[in-house]
Amino acid sequence: MALVPCQVLRAAILLSYCSILCNYKAIDMPAHQTYGGSWKFLTFIDLVIQAVFFGICVLTDLSSLLTKGNDSQEQERQLKKLISLRDWVMAVLAFPVGVFVVTMFWSIYIYDRELVYPKLLDNFIPAWLNHGMHTTVLPFVLIEMRTTHHQYPSRSCGLAAVCTFAVGYILWVCWIHHVTGVWVYPLLEHLSPGVKIIFFAAVTVIINIFYLVGEVLNNYIWDTQK
């Protein structure tokens, strides 16, 4: 795909995430006023990750256009650093976390929405915003993977980074429960301590699997031999 269409597409996706974040933060929900605020929800963290990622993509495109035809080695070096950052965020955060949020949310929602998204939230969050947070993330990140080749880090480094993020968020959720006595997600209220450990371990494994899926998919799409 040509550079200009990709540029416009990424800019449009970035604007959509900015709109979703602004509308979400404008909602006056009791949960936003409690300890941790919006940052206790993985959905919100993922929205920030996606917005930052596509912001880096747009900045990379602009830098590429500005340095095109320029023989400055320093500018070329800075552009390569920006591209490396973009690829790392895509591989370690944007793809695995985004896919995890979409698949886990809708899987639990279909089974019993009260465990993850109580019906009471319909009074605060309109349907279009819910899909903006939990549905469009997947096609957006797949479009980005299809239109741009991303250089993945070594598998060991990538998996270590993903594990660090997953464990960090799990510890954050546990800390919130320690402080407030309330679990971020209603689902956790129904699990015994032993089952919680198994659940957290499974979540970590799943997000690592999504990292591997992203790596394989990226290599398949951009296999020059094919």
Residues 6+ apart with CB under 8 A from 172: 36, 40
- Least confident stretch, 5-9, 50-54, 108-112, 202-206: 5-9
Q: How far is CA 46 from CA 20, 51, 182, in A?
A: 12, 9, 22
pTM: 0.92
pLDDT, one tens digit per residue, over 115-163 is 888 898 888 889 999 999 999 999 999 999 999 999 999 999 999 999 9
Q: Kindly report the average pLDDT of the chain as a whole number.
A: 91
| Whether pLDDT at 211 is above 90 | yes
Mean pLDDT of 47-65: 93
- Least confident stretch, 76-80, 89-93, 142-146: 76-80
pLDDT, one tens digit per residue, over 152-184 is 999 999 999 999 999 999 999 999 999 999 999
| Whether pLDDT at 3 is above 70 | no
Q: Which of 132, 141, 139, 136 is nearest to 54 (CA)?
A: 141
